[in-house]
Amino acid sequence: MSTILPRWFSRRDTAAIAAAQQASLRSDRFRLEREADWRRLETIVARIEAGRLRAISDDDLVALPALYRTLVSSLSVARDTTLDAATLAYLEALAQRAWFVVYGPEITFRGWLRRFFGGGWSAAVRAIGPDILIALAIMIIGTVIGWLLVANDPDWFYALMPAQPGDPRVPGASHAALLGSLFGKGQKSGLAMFAAYLFSNNAQVSILCFALGFAFGLPTILLLVHNTALLGALLWLYHGQGLTLDLIGWLSVHGTTELFAIMLAGASGIHIGRAMAFPGQRAVLDAAAQAGRRTATVMIGVVLMLIVAGLLEGFARQLINATAPRLMLGGAMLVWWLGYFFIYRGKGARR
């Protein structure tokens, strides 16, 4: 088709018009050759965004990654050439939507919570079972060490226990003083603040146990020994006045949850340390990264356990003023955690 131009048009103007017409033809040809794939991808993305997964055929699901790569390639060409702005804007918008479908989160936050509590957390804990046994053995050894240290030299008690003004829990304390520390009624108005303080302290210990695993797990082991040595020192102190069972009841309300959480955090650190010390055929950093991802789920659960322990320590233990009910509550919490971690098999467990 020829174009009749006024005589006053110069050759340069005529060449510019011809170039624009040629570019338009290239743009039309480019769009027509690929538009069917774009439309197909747009239909798939729209159905996924609307939650209509059943309306997507198996062929479309298989073709989704290839269609996305084709779209990205088309977008790259469109940006480097003189394609029309409308086509470029359409491709950019579709590429953004398709990226979230192909590479975005697999599930919603609600779905993640359902998977986490529905078996994902317990499966992650079982995956580090050998490290949990190691952490448990270390904590038992730490408790024995603390007992033996203060039994041979009571001055070790002051080195292990943080000094608190007016605290009756010291070597040589009377039976009445120690009994009062277990069953004395504090001000209920300060229980919430007390629970928050205890949660903060226990969270720091657990996070340190996990983080120090990157030093081949050795600082994690030392931290577990140190913290359980405090427990051994307390057991020795109350045992001397015949209050061992009362102390265990006092501790069990929150301790079966708190110590379990610290043990899991220590096991996570040990798991990372073992992976770094014995990486096998992998690079050390790759082994540490893989172990870190494996234990991340465990540590999320540890934080939740510490919240529960803080509430139990700040409220339930102060409100329950008898040994038997305390032992029953602590024992029930221990049975709950053991059952959830090692017996429960939910749909959220990853195999």
- Nearest partner of 41 among 89, 79, 86, 96, judged by Cα: 96
Residue extents of the structural domains in the chain: 11-103, 110-342
Mean pLDDT of 103-131: 84
Tokens read off for 58: 């198996």
pLDDT computed for residue 83 by the predictor = 61
Measure the CA–CA gap between 272 and 278, rounded to whole angstroms: 10
Cβ 233 vs Cβ 147: under 8 Å: yes
CB burial class (10 A; 0-12, 13-18, 19+) of residue 151? middle
In the predicted structure, residue 32 carries a pLDDT above the cut 90: no
pLDDT at position 261 over 90: yes
**Who wins on pLDDT, 137 or 162?**
137
Residue 245 has pLDDT above 50, yes or no: yes
> Which of 141, 292, 167, 152 lies closest to 231 in space, CA to CA?
141
For 350, list phi and psi in degrees, rounded to 5: -90, 135
Mean pLDDT over the full length of the chain:
82
User: Residue 305, Cα to own-chain centre: how many angstroms?
Assistant: 13
> What is the 8-class DSSP label of residue 155?
H
Q: Is 272:295 a contact under the CB 8 Å cutoff?
A: yes
Residues 70 and 20: their CA atoms lie apart, in Å, by 26
Percent of the chain with pLDDT over 90: 34
Give, in order, the Cα–Cα distances in Å from 112 to each of 7, 26, 348: 72, 47, 9
pLDDT category, 64, cuts 50, 70, 90?
confident
In three-state secondary structure terms, 327 is helix
Give backbone dihedrals phi and psi of 4, rounded to 5 degrees, phi first.
-90, 120
pLDDT of residue 8: 47
**8 Å CB contact between 237 and 150:** yes
The full length of the chain comes to 351
The larger pLDDT score, comparing residue 20 to residue 338, is at 338
pLDDT in tens, 189-227: 444 554 555 567 677 888 888 888 888 889 999 999 998
Whole-structure pTM over 0.75, yes or no?
A: no
Q: How far apart are CA 320 and CA 6, in angstroms?
A: 101
Sign of the C-alpha dihedral computed for residues 250, 253, 258 and 261 taken in this order: positive
Find the Cα–Cα–Cα–Cα dihedral 111, 115, 116, 122, rounded to 10°: 180
Query: Does 50 have pLDDT greater than 60?
Result: yes
pLDDT in tens, 277-291: 888 888 888 888 888
Asked whether 236 and 178 are in contact (CB, 8 A), the reply is no
Q: At what angle do helices 218-239 and 129-152 cross, to 10 degrees?
A: 50
Does residue 23 carry a pLDDT above 60? no
From 20-24, 60-64, 140-144, 277-281, the region with the lowest mean pLDDT: 20-24
